[in-house]
Amino acid sequence: MRRRIFAISVVAVVLLGSTIFLTVMSEQRKAQTAYMKDLFAMDTFFTLQAYGPGAEGALELCARRVQELENRLSVTVEGSDIRRINQGLFSDEEMADAKIDADAGIAEDTFLLIKAARELGEETEGALDITLYPVLREWGFTTGDYKVPDEEVLWELLQKVDYTKIQLDEERQSVLVPAGTELDLGAVAKGYTGDCLTELLKERGVTSAMLDLGGNIQVLGAKPDGTPWRIAVKDPFGGSKMIGVLEVVDKAVITSGSYERYFVGEDGKDYWHILDPSDGYPADSGLVSVTVVGESGVKCDGLSTALFVMGKDRAVEFWRQHPEFEMILVTEDGKVYFTQGLEDSFECGKGWLAEEIPESSGD
Ligand code: AMP
Ligand code: MG
């Protein structure tokens, strides 16, 4: 009898043990299952990848959120907040006529992003200026109908370019711009979108995700196996040998480069899409790409554009005064510079000459 009880107990323990083992294995497998979502939005391809039980549903919500953001922030979507601002609905003349009522206001997203971009404009002393739209249009960067504008036309259009003239009313969450001012959030919208999606995934219990928003990368947590994500930094000269690999956890890795959008003028010169707001011409700063690594997507996005305009020396100076981000700069002559904070996480690719930028200038 005792033997029988013993045998039954052994069988029960083994059964229970294997059930627990299988459950744990199945949970682990679920946590490791990758869910993917591909989208075309904001004029580029998005690939969203998330892991774990809630990931599939969360990615569907992300796709909807991207659509919502595009409908609010796009400069081309009819009826978007930016389109309405650019049509003069929020210009001071119209406001003076009290033609706007509270319901016709802008979404909180639009308000917050304009606010963040305006602040980054101030921090970068105007290297980032979201009122450049009329100038960008004249170059054809908005339509693909490229041309080198007349100098006089550029000068005329530049009179309307001044981010400091954007007035924001915190209480009413409203915006007011001078008549003729037009905005373009192309330099910051994808970074803001990445922040929104990361937040949404977190709320849904996702702890591991990688979002590729047209080359802007934002990662949530580490890889499901607990190791850091490995992000390749592209060769801005179009070759196949990447600049290197960055190991990151909970970070945005955002690159601005002259190679991303450009045209060749009748004079045989390249003209690219990042303009220097001080003269309205493509920023000829000696840089071909700037990669910014940090916590906030919107900041990294705004900074990658602004630091490209500033050029290496001003960018290094700026970084020394704002140590909350790291960067990798590539110069026209093919040299790679990376900030000290990346010394353990950036592995430079073969064939590139890389130099570390120290925290202090040493003088
Ligand atoms: P990104 O790829 O983030 O560097 O953003 C570049 C886009 O931002 C361009 O395609 C333009 O739409 C816009 N842009 C270009 N130059 C500037 C600038 N100096 N400040 C703000 N936006 C800019
Ligand atoms: Mg940017």
Query: Does residue 94 carry a pLDDT above 70?
Result: no
Query: 45 CA distance to ligand 1 centroid (A)?
Result: 18
Kindly indicate the confidence band of residue 18, based on its pLDDT and cuts at 50, 70 and 90. Answer: low
Query: Does residue 21 carry a pLDDT above 70?
Result: no
Distance of CA 172 to the CA centre of its chain: 27
Compute the half-sphere exposure of residue 362: CA atoms within 13 Å on the CB side of its CA: 2
SS3 category, 144: coil
pLDDT digits (tens, 9 = 90+) for 47-93: 999 999 899 999 999 999 999 999 999 999 999 999 999 998 888 76
Query: 187 CA distance to ligand 2 centroid (A)?
Result: 4
- Count of Cβ atoms closer than 10 Å to residue 67 Cβ: 12
pLDDT reported for residue 241: 83
pTM (2 decimals)?
Answer: 0.90
CB 159 within 8 A of CB 277: no
Q: List the Cα angle 150/145/309 in 5-degree steps.
A: 65
Q: Which of 89, 84, 111, 112 is nearest to 99 (CA)?
A: 89
| Mean pLDDT of the region 149-175 | 95
Q: Is 18 exposed, middle or buried (0-12, 13-18, 19+ CB in 10 A)?
A: exposed
Q: Which residue, by CA, sits nearest to atom 1 of ligand 1? A: 187
- Percent pLDDT > 90 in the chain is 79
Query: 236 CA distance to ligand 1 centroid (A)?
Result: 17
pLDDT digits (tens, 9 = 90+) for 245-258: 999 999 999 999 98
Residue position matching structure tokens 């900041």? 299
CB 204 within 8 A of CB 57: yes
Q: Which residue, by CA, sits nearest to atom 11 of ligand 1? A: 186
pLDDT digits (tens, 9 = 90+) for 317-334: 999 999 899 999 999 999
Q: Among the atoms of ligand 1, which is closest to the Cα of residue 127? A: 19
CB 282 within 8 A of CB 265: no
| Mean pLDDT of the region 101-113 | 82
Of the listed ranges 23-27, 143-147, 307-311, the least confidently predicted one is 23-27
CA distance 242 to 351: 10
**DSSP class of residue 181?**
-
pLDDT digits (tens, 9 = 90+) for 240-292: 789 999 999 999 999 999 888 889 988 999 999 999 999 999 999 999 999 99
